[in-house]
Amino acid sequence: MADSSGSNPQSPGFTEKLKSWLCWSWTYICVLWFAMVLTMVYVLRSPLKLQETVNAASVFLNTLTPKFYVALTGTSSLISGLILIFEWWYFRKYGTSFIEQVSVSHLRPLLGGVENSSAPTSMFSPVNGDAEPRGNVAECKVWRNPLNLFRGAEYSRYTWVTGKEPLTYYDMNLSAQDHQTFFLGDTQQLRPEDSVMQKAWRERNPQARIRAAYQAIEMNHECAAAYVLLAEEEATTITEAERLFKQALKSAGKDTNLVVYIKRRLAMCARKLGRIKEAVKMMRDLMKEFPLLGMLNIHENLLEALLELQAYADVQAVLAKYDDISLPKSATICYTSALLKARAVSDKFSPETASRRGLSTAEMNAVEAIHRAVEFNPHVPKYLLEMKSLILPPEHILKRGDSEAVAYAFFHLQHWKRAEGALNLLHCTWEGTFRIIPYPLEKGHLFYPYPGCTETADRELLPAFHEVSVYPKKELPFFILFTAGLCSFCAMLAMLTHQFPELMGVFVKAFFSTLFAPLGFFADKMENFMPSCLWHQLTNV
């Protein structure tokens, strides 16, 4: 195989050169063909009676009244306005121009355009340039929200009060896949009740899932996964959910995945019911008993509970262990670190005083920590500063995305408010981050470049009534600006033609005379340059 592949090493290079030469020459061939068509039309103007046709068209246009031009320009303005409205709606919903998307998706391949496959790789290359570049998929991996709420006791209440669904189908489908993988494990050794639960997680209707859980319990009274489902979805209070989780823990046996999940949710129940020290102990014991399950991010639950206790020394100890360069970052890690450093100086911080004397070392450390956090996730500050309304967090989040910002701010806003002056320091300094980050976002400052895929994933994870935060802020597409200009221009022409018909007629004639003057000049030069007998012979062909 190696011999056959290396027998003609020059053939791929020759093929690429041939393709590049054809692409280069195609443009000039088109220009030459267009010039030849124009020349033939000019040469054959007498047999084709072009002059008579133009004169007849001129006579027809001169007989039209100003009302016709008013109707023409008004209709053009109306059509371009409708296109503008549709383009704006499409841009607000999908973040791109419809005309541009159709052009790139359908017209570009027909014209021989090829996507640059190397662009995404270079966009997400590391800051130091030493490691291998990472692709789009790795940057936009969806993670389970460590602090996700209970469907029956919390999400359902929101639906009952507002009539809105806080979770998207995509988000719930990811949860169903998580539960099937996490609880059922090897599908070749499924018990009858496990098969029922496997179908239950896939049901879209909550009542159908609950009925399936009861069916599994009838088949086996110690079906722990069924009690977990009832605790998550049927229990309407945290107390009831805790009771069902305790029942599930008794039936879990030695199933490690089930035990870890249930103990974590029991710790979260204790946290929500105000037994915070008990919740902290349960989380510490869980992390000590299962140290290899760091991917579940139990330390983020522990950080939030410790902040509620205002045990800042313990929070710093947890950060020292998990805020490591070799571990994946999160908004919780970065912003909690910034909060601790801001808390040390925020109570005495004043922008006016800092501008006069400069920043102290502690203040500089706090500002740098805020800049680091904002670079990791630039969406969080607007929620912490209450410049943007919060919603219930989704069950899955996208790191560095708007979904992670919502989840972090939902649980940690109270901790920032408790630290006197911390939000004021954040308000004064967070926008300075964007002066440090290179633009365009081809490389980051402290982290990998901000991924360009977060908006699409966040729109799948967050409900439709929430306005997704986008970074960097997208400029309006060209076609929206073009249709807006065209609509305004046509409307202005319609108004002027209606108000000043005679003056606009004179202006239009002068405009077209000026526009076609170069063509007339070119035609005269052609007739003077070429012998008259040649023109006579060509017109007789």
Question: Measured in whole angstroms, how far is the alpha carbon of residue 400 from the centre of its chain?
Answer: 10
Q: Does residue 12 register a pLDDT over 60?
A: no
Please determine, for residue 240, whether its predicted confidence score (pLDDT) is greater than 90.
yes
- 412/390 Cα distance (integer angstroms): 12
- pLDDT band, very low/low/confident/very high, at 132 (cuts 50, 70, 90): very low
Q: Which residue has the tokens 């800051």?
A: 127
Give the model's pLDDT for residue 100: 72
Half-sphere exposure in the Cβ direction for 130 (13 Å, CA): 1
| pLDDT at res. 6 | 43
Task: Give residue 477's pLDDT band: very low, low, confident or very high (50, 70, 90).
Answer: low
CA 37: distance to chain centroid?
A: 47
Identify the band that residue 529 occupies on the pLDDT scale cut at 50, 70 and 90: low
- The label of the residue with tokens 């940690």 reads 412
The predicted structure's pLDDT at residue 432: 75
* Residue 191's pLDDT band (cuts 50, 70, 90): confident
The residue to which tokens 């945290």 are assigned: 238
pLDDT at 441 over 60: no
Q: How confident is the model at residue 71 (pLDDT cuts 50, 70, 90)?
A: confident
Query: Average pLDDT in the 265-274 region?
Result: 95
Lowest mean pLDDT among 208-222, 289-303, 332-346, 439-453: 439-453
pLDDT at residue 123 greater than cutoff 50:
no
**C-beta separation of 96 from 480 below 8 A:** no
Higher pLDDT: 141 or 462? It is 462
pLDDT the model gives residue 218:
93
492-503 per-position pLDDT tens digit? 877 877 778 778
Judged against a pLDDT cut of 80, whether residue 317 lies above it is answered with: yes
pLDDT > 70 in the chain, percent: 73
State the angle between helix axes of 532-539 and 10-43 in degrees (0 to 180), rounded to the nearest 10.
Answer: 100
Choose between 48 and 419: higher pLDDT.
419
| pLDDT of 146 above 80 | yes
Q: Of 109 and 2, which is predicted with more confidence?
A: 109
Q: Summarize the confidence of residues 158-187 as an average pLDDT.
A: 86
Per-residue confidence band for 124, with pLDDT thresholds at 50, 70 and 90 = very low
Confidence of residue 470 (pLDDT cuts 50, 70, 90): confident
- Look at residue 1 and tell me whether its pLDDT is greater than 60: no
Task: Give the residue-averaged pLDDT of 153-164.
Answer: 92
pLDDT at position 8 is 46
What per-residue confidence (pLDDT) applies to 526? 64
More confident site: 351 or 424: 424
Residue bearing the bigger pLDDT, 135 or 519: 519
pLDDT of residue 136: 40
Quick one: which H or E segment has residue 219?
helix 206-219
Residue type, 235: A
Query: Which amino acid does the sequence have at 85?
Result: I
pLDDT at residue 474 in the model: 57
Q: What is the pLDDT of residues 375-402, one digit of tens each?
A: 899 999 999 999 999 999 999 999 989 9
**Pick the residue with more confidence: 534 or 15?**
15
pLDDT score of 7: 43
CA distance linking residue 433 with residue 368, whole number of Å: 9
Compute the distance between CA of residue 125 and CA of residue 128 in angstroms, rounded to an integer.
Answer: 9
For 142, phi then psi, to 5°, come to -90, 135
- Which of 408-418 are b and which e, b meaning 16 or more Cβ less than 10 Å from the residue's Cβ? bbbbbbebbee
In terms of average pLDDT, the best of 34-43, 193-202, 303-312 is 303-312
Query: Could you give the percent of the chain with pLDDT greater than 90?
Result: 36
- Quick one: pLDDT band at residue 190, thresholds 50, 70, 90? confident
